[in-house]
Amino acid sequence: MKKLTIFMVLLFLVVAAQAQNLLQGRVVDEASGAGIPFVSVGILGTNNASVSNENGDFVLKAPTYPAKLRCSHVSYLTSDRILQESSNSAIIVKLKPASISLNTVTIDPYQGQRILKAAFEKAKTYENNNSYLNAFYRQLTTLNGKPSQIYELFFDLQWSPKRVQGWIAKQSRFAQLDDQAAFSLDNQSYYTFTVSGYLFPDKGGKFVNLNTLADYEINIEKYIEQADQKIAVVSCKYKKGKSNLYYVNSTYYVGLDDSNIYRLENSVFNLPIRLSRASAKFPPIVTTVATFNGAAHPIPVLESVSTKMYLSLNVKGREINPGISSLLTVYNIDNDLKDQQFEALNRRTKDKTVIESIKYDPSFWRNNPIVKQTTLEDSFIKMMESKAAFGTMTNP
């Protein structure tokens, strides 16, 4: 009995020590209390940074106290908070929405086009300037609303305003349930990498860029009053959209004074997708949100990319509705990574093949401060861990 008591005390001390090595919290809207996704969260003066997930939750490595926690989002006022000491409980950060002025009177119908043109021209001068990033990627697949498959990868990335230029997978894991009709989209990370910038190509679909501005109906939806400058929210709708044409409608958040792009939302239409044993009833519904961190950089650097895809399929006479959601978050910028040999982007790269090429390291994933899940992801991951599904590459 005495040995059991000693063991329980030691176990408690280990758990407490692990909790003290993390700073956990949630960023919420001051008025509604709802969690705010894609908030930049970091300790000032350090590289200790992250991005809140879709519930507004974040996890950081515990800082040296006292420390200043900064939370920023393009649609909210920046919050700085002094942290005096460690706490085992999660902290709540309330952000106040920035003032919004609606563009109700169109005095100059070409103002939005000029704002975007200036932003693209500035970005183009940096198009060959690479940044080197540590990033975490998670992809969750659901079938008819039930989680069925998850990929998780840590990457070193070579990024430019065009997109991710190269990658190296450092750690990975994968798990899958086989109790439903099988479906897998195993190169969505490639698609995420391609929409991680804001200088889109002329080919491969219709995107907003310097050469296609006249093809889009461009409007300033509103202005966001930030402390240092106004942010123009500019929507772009393709004028010639057709059911058989791959095109993208976009909304840009652009600083009026610095012509920097801080956020980009895309709705993708008629994305070409190859299905080997299924037929699509409708074109896939695809949306992306990319955020960029402009602090201390000549031009904003990638911070996060969220992608969501929904399909309606017929598989051997059975209807299934897959949903594939992914989130890539950058947690560190390190130019010392540039000497590595990066893998070039290739549409044929399969995520599962990449994962299987790396030995699974369970100790790396245990209590990792970067790996923060939403409630749905958390429940699925815990269930798969209980089945020892990770690392085996077999279906439990």
Residue 395 in any domain: the answer is no
Q: Which strand ranges, in their side-by-side order, compose the sheet holding 216-225?
A: 99-102, 216-225, 230-238, 247-255, 261-269, 285-293, 301-310, 322-333, 131-143, 146-160, 163-176, 343-344
Residue 103 in any domain: the answer is no
Residues 249 and 364 in one domain: yes
Last residue of a domain, one of 47, 62, 97: 97
3-state secondary structure of 366: coil
Compute, in degrees rounded to 10, the torsion defined by CA atoms 40, 43, 48, 53.
-30
Residues 61 and 153 in one domain: no
CA-CA distance, 364 to 58, in Å (whole number)? 19
pLDDT for position 16: 36
Residues 258 and 232 in one domain: yes
Joined together, the tokens standing for residue 147 give: 């989680």
pLDDT average, residue stretch 266-294: 82
Q: Where are the beta strands (DSSP E) in 13-122?
A: 22-29, 40-43, 49-51, 57-61, 67-72, 79-83, 91-95, 99-102
Residues 30 and 133 in one domain: no
Kindly indicate the confidence band of residue 129, based on its pLDDT and cuts at 50, 70 and 90. very high
On whether the CB atoms of residues 220 and 234 are closer than 8 A, the answer is yes
Domain span including residue 74: 2-97
pTM confidence score? 0.88
Last residue of a domain, one of 42, 69, 97: 97
pLDDT for position 379: 85
CA-CA distance, 100 to 259, in Å (whole number)? 19
Residue 331 in any domain: the answer is yes
For residue 55, give the CATH number of its domain: 2.60.40.1120
Residue 349 in any domain: the answer is yes
Q: Of 133, 161, 159, 160, nearest to 259 (Cα)?
A: 161
pLDDT for position 175: 87
Residues 26 and 146 in one domain: no
pLDDT for position 135: 94
pLDDT for position 20: 52
pLDDT tens digits along 303-347: 999 999 998 887 777 788 889 999 999 988 998 999 999 999 988
Residues 257 and 363 in one domain: yes
Residues 195 and 258 in one domain: yes
- Which of 50-64, 243-257, 265-279, 299-313 has the least mean pLDDT? 265-279
Last residue of a domain, one of 97, 131, 165: 97
Residues 281 and 361 in one domain: yes
Residues 231 and 380 in one domain: yes
Residue 223 in any domain: the answer is yes
Number of compact structural domains in the chain: 2
Residue 105 in any domain: the answer is no
Residues 123 and 24 in one domain: no
Residues 121 and 90 in one domain: no
CA-CA distance, 135 to 157, in Å (whole number)? 7
Residue 37 in any domain: the answer is yes
Residue 396 in any domain: the answer is no
Residues 76 and 141 in one domain: no
Residue 363 scores a pLDDT above 50: yes
